[in-house]
Structure 1
Amino acid sequence: MKQSEIVRHLTDAELRKQLFISQLFLLIIAFLLSIFLFDTLSEWMVYWHWDSGEIFQYGVIPGLIIVSADLILMILLPKSWYDDGGINERIFKRQPLLTVIILVLLVAVSEELLFRGVLQTVFGYIPASILFALVHIRYLYKPVLLISVLFVSFYIGYLFHITDNLAVTITAHFTVDLLLALVIRLQK
């Protein structure tokens, strides 16, 4: 059974629950891999530092640029090219704002810890960025969505490469996902 068929049989609440479970799973994988791939926890913690200017410059501003480009493409391209099977709409459309923020924060933290904090740190920028795109399996048969997620993955991976700061990549990821979730939530 294809993923889209499985998703169609889930209620919106079950779909959100699956998202929550999958993100907790990614968090667990990130922490387990960090235990095996880093000698000490402090070796991994060097990638956490709070620098407001850096976070704004390399997290918020790139997030806004990505969303702006996405919105322009959504206007210019046929809607079917951006259709993910309605999954994002079902996850975010009728949710209270706090629920949207919590879901988006969980996604940003879990994915960035795994893909930038562990995989990119150990295996490099390109493998981590490609793997990030492949994990978003529902986009593999949608060329515009696949190119978009690849671009975002490489861009955020590059931001981590130049800053070595997970706070930056989490902020960029959170900014992108939150703004796009709000667009979905506010669409009529």
Structure 2
Amino acid sequence: MNEPKKDTAPPLSITEKQVLVSFYLTQLGLLVIALPLLWWQGNLNWGYFGLGNIHMWIWGGITGLAIVAADLLLARIVPERWFDDGGINRLLFKHRSFIHIFFISLIAALVEEMFFRGVVQHWLGIWWASLLFVLVHTRYLRQWLLVLMVGVISLVFGWLVQWSGTLAPAIVAHWLVDFLLGLYFRYLTDG
């Protein structure tokens, strides 16, 4: 009688350098897509980015802080394994300098909000933009809680853009979430 074949493939391993290169290449690809499409929509202008409206920055900051607080509170309540993204966030942030974490977070916030909220949401709406945002964050797809959290956060970012008519609050909130959680991985976790 033949025994079923056991999966003998080694577990996937990825290095910090591969994670960092993948991050930058992904962001570059999204930027190359987003810029001409924003221009084509007529939204590649300072007004759409809301850089001069301090109120939008404040709303983004409040939203970002609320998301980080909820995330840290939830992390204390639910089992740690429910937050396991395969160690990708740890690889991305753990050995980076403060300035590099700032830069990574800023790039992700600018590029991803330009693409998902500026381009995709403009054409397909908040729900489709949020679904695509969740799917692009593939490292979370094996954890239902992470999928739910990313989906809700994406909906909040989408609502901020729809409500304000600018990308500013979503960019600020996104940056703050990534930056503070990046600092958390860098300075407050083991390994």
User: So what's the TM-score if we normalise by structure 2?
Assistant: 0.87
Does 1:20 pair with 2:24?
Answer: yes
| Residue number in structure 2 paired with 1:55 | 57
Q: CA deviation at 1:53?
A: 2.0
Paired letter, 1:85: G
Q: Deviations over 1:103-134 (max 9, x none)?
A: 11111111000011111112211111111111
Question: Aligned runs of 1:144-183 on 2, under 5 Å?
Answer: 144-183=145-184
Match of 2:102 in 1: 101
Q: Give 1:80 deviation, angstroms.
A: 0.4
Task: Tell me, in whole angstroms, the C-alpha distance in 1 between the residues paired with 2:159 and 2:168.
Answer: 14
| Pairwise CA distance, 1:165 | 1.1
Alpha-carbon RMSD: 1.4
Number of residues of Structure 1 aligned to a counterpart in Structure 2: 177
Tell me the SS of whatever aligns to 2:28. helix
1:1-188 correspondence to structure 2 within 5 Å: 6=12, 8=13, 10-35=14-39, 37-38=40-41, 41=42, 43-45=43-45, 46-49=47-50, 50-56=52-58, 58-187=59-188, 188=190
How far did residue 73 of structure 1 move?
Answer: 0.5
Instruction: Answer yes or no: is the 8 Å Cα contact 2:35–2:44 preserved in 1.
Output: no
Cα separation, 1, equivalents of 2:16 and 2:88: 9
List gaps (5 residues or longer) in structure 1.
none
**1:27-76 C-alpha deviation (Å, 9 max, x unpaired):** 111123335x52xx4x44241222112210x2000000000000001011
**Higher radius of gyration, 1 or 2:** 2
The CA deviation string for residues 73-119 of structure 1, in whole angstroms up to 9 with x for no partner, is 10111110001001000110111111111111111111000011111
> Would you say the 8 A contact 1:100–1:178 is kept in 2?
yes
